[in-house]
Structure 1
Amino acid sequence: MNKHYFKLAAFMLCFIVLTGCQQEKKEAKKPAKEEQTVKAEEKETPKQPDVKDSEFGSDVPELPANLEEALKYPAGKFSAKKAQDLDQEIKAELSTVPNIPENADMEQYDTLIKYLYSLYKRDYEDPREVLKALQVGTMPASQDAPGEKRAYNVEIILDSSGSMANKMGSKTRMELAKEAIRKFAASLPKEANISLRVYGHKGTGAEKDKQLSCGSNELVYSPQSFNATELDTALGKFKPAGWTPLAEAIKAAQNDLAAYKGKENKNIIYVVSDGIETCEGNPVSAAENLKASGIDPVVNIIGFDVNAKDAQQLQSIAKAAGGVYKNVQNQDQLQNEFQKSIQESLDWINWKSKESLNALTKSNNQMLDIYGLTNEWRAKIRQEQYLVQFSLVELDMQAKITNKQNYEIFERAKVFFNKEIELVDELEKTLIQSTKQDLDTTLKQIDSIYEENVSQK
């Protein structure tokens, strides 16, 4: 394991332990009895279900206790909303919140906070991406040495289950995915091979067609260079149909690329799916086997407008494959995810010159990246906090909570958000310290890698 990843893992563990200790202290100091509101409403209104009388909040994840959990926590339904965007859509959502009784306890307060947070949770950039930037680039450089061009083999595994017929705007998810695949294939280097496998494209979503649909798994465009006419023909062979045999598709992709060993080839696999396995397969196990295979692929799992529950399985698949999971909401984001992994290797001499002469600049830029990432995290946390605050005001106006409860619940939520800010502050210090320590090591690595590879000529 790279030392930077080890540092982050140890750091995240410290957060988990620290958070647990602080939670115990908080519980120890918790008052035995909360002050109850004694003021009664003059006007009698029909009784609505309160939080304890309903299932409200039962399907919402717990608030994250540390940065690792915050990173994994799914983006909320209104994650793109800004603080000033407390529009009719949000107000309609808040109108479904049960009344909070005047004698509500802290558990009921926390349920409401948990629910509001789940609506506005932002999508955070993984700090491990910054740690990757701290590396000199040992693996790409040593494998892609000058004069040793490696072939690119790109396979796209596309979900063709019935849900891909759902529309995003004026087009279906499948239409948008096909358009993105066409553009991506046309942008590949001419020497690159591309292949396309689809699954779930036969039968229907009915139980009687499950066996047929779960067995539908087809390589419609075998590994070859891009040919617009042939790819269009392949893309026209299928449409959204039935179930989701994701595990079998991953197993088949491993066989598709079996002839392209990792030493001589750069293999990239994209899995595009809008949902989870529905054919009783084990996609996580299939992903683990893919990772252990000799094809050594770069694996990208792309969730196409995936809900929070399904995203958890896709994240597990990506982790098992040693890959990355991203959830995209539109065609442009899908196109961007396709492009990220296609990069040409640097020439060794230029690499050494550039890295040696600009090591200090690179270190400073890395610090700026760290500050940029942590500042973005802080800004998103505050945006979440503001939206929770404005939502409480709206609930107050809708008579779901009292003015006093508005204040008490917000103060309770503020403790949580402030703690998240403190954790980001600590993360920033750790990353900056690591960057400074690595500057000298980086210069030595550059010389070592260069000498090792040039001496083999």
Structure 2
Amino acid sequence: MRTRALLSVLIVLMLVFSTGCSTLLDGFASDSNQSAAEKKEKKKPKVKIPEELQHIPLPPAGKYAGDRYDWQKVKQELNDIPKDASAKEVLNRMYELAAEDYRPVIRYYQNFDPSTIEVERGPNGELRLKELPGQKKVNIAILLDASGSMAGKVDGGVKMKLAKKAVKDFASQMPEGSDVSLTVYGHKGSNNKKDQAKSCKGIEEVYSLGSYHEKKFNQALDQFKPTGWTPLAAAMEKTEDRLSSQTEAENIVYVVSDGKETCGGDPVKAAQALHESDMKAVVNIIGFDLDNEGQKALEAVAEAGGGEYSSVDDGASLDQYFAEERSRLYDAWADWANEHYDKASDLSSKKYDQLQKKSNEVYDITQRELRRYEKMTDYLENERGFEFDFLHEKVNKNFRYRIDVIQEWNFDVVDHLQDKVLYNADKIQDEVLEKSDKEQEKLY
């Protein structure tokens, strides 16, 4: 498990988020200092003013705000201010000329998404087994050959007994979120010619598609013995019918067989139909103790089904096959965790930097606005003859206070959002690693 250096700090921050910082982004119904010009902007959606900014003027953009600023024109406007104007009248005139509109900034922060990533469906690897809440579910359809030849012996024991054990172990270790079914074929009648028709129709889903339950699955495995012929094509056709409604799921078919089709069907065509259908199933074949002819036949079936063919000769190699499947899935979970861990880190870093950039931009705007106000009051004092004390005590202090409040709010709200970004990234990373560890432990 990876070390997370920020975990303890971020837990404390999480507690802070729920209390002291709640007003940074909250807004209230109106701003009592809105100008008449602002009230006329009825078509624009209203911005909820945060509590920290409710007691200062937040007028719309002034006539010469931003890139429209023209000092020569501003001076002409300042010349129209009467010498007996009140401090409020002077301030309002200055705002009408050069005030910056901070409502878009408020809206930006209020709409900022501090989340990092949505965890995608877990790794499929060779198995494509994993689903996470809200993602595609996964169906595992196991088709087990119960024809008479499965009563034969190989190193390690009887083929059918070994196959049942391997299937049982495999099904019991399916990751969370996967459904499993077990279909057996060739277990009816006998392998005599007179019973061929009966045996070829002997296809039965002994464990219906659903969540794995150990007792019920084991009971299903105990219901049949190796008996008759090999209706592989018909078994896949029945599986296609059973999965036909599962078009929104990942569908994987595993066939365990020791022989080629003996009932006159076309398993290549059936596998291709499964793979090319709306449910897009993948057909994997495990050939058990096959001769060259049988192996080639089943290789063609797997290829047509978009899956893989694997050959096993005894009980040990059959167990090894499923162990390798689990190993691939184990590695896939590690890759999945690493990918999502890095994605969360990269995205949180990007969003953190976006917020810092925005904060710097807002600070620069406030500083520019402040310099313009100072230049205007200097002009009023030096060129228009306004009293220094009047401008300093009743005008300058007011617009400087407004700028100070906006700057402080800007710093605080960005700190708050940046902390949330880091917290969310760490939370996602913890969940991903925990989920990966859980699924890897389940495989062994």
TM-score, structure 1 as length reference: 0.44
Larger CA Rg, structure 1 vs 2: 2
TM-score, structure 2 as length reference: 0.45
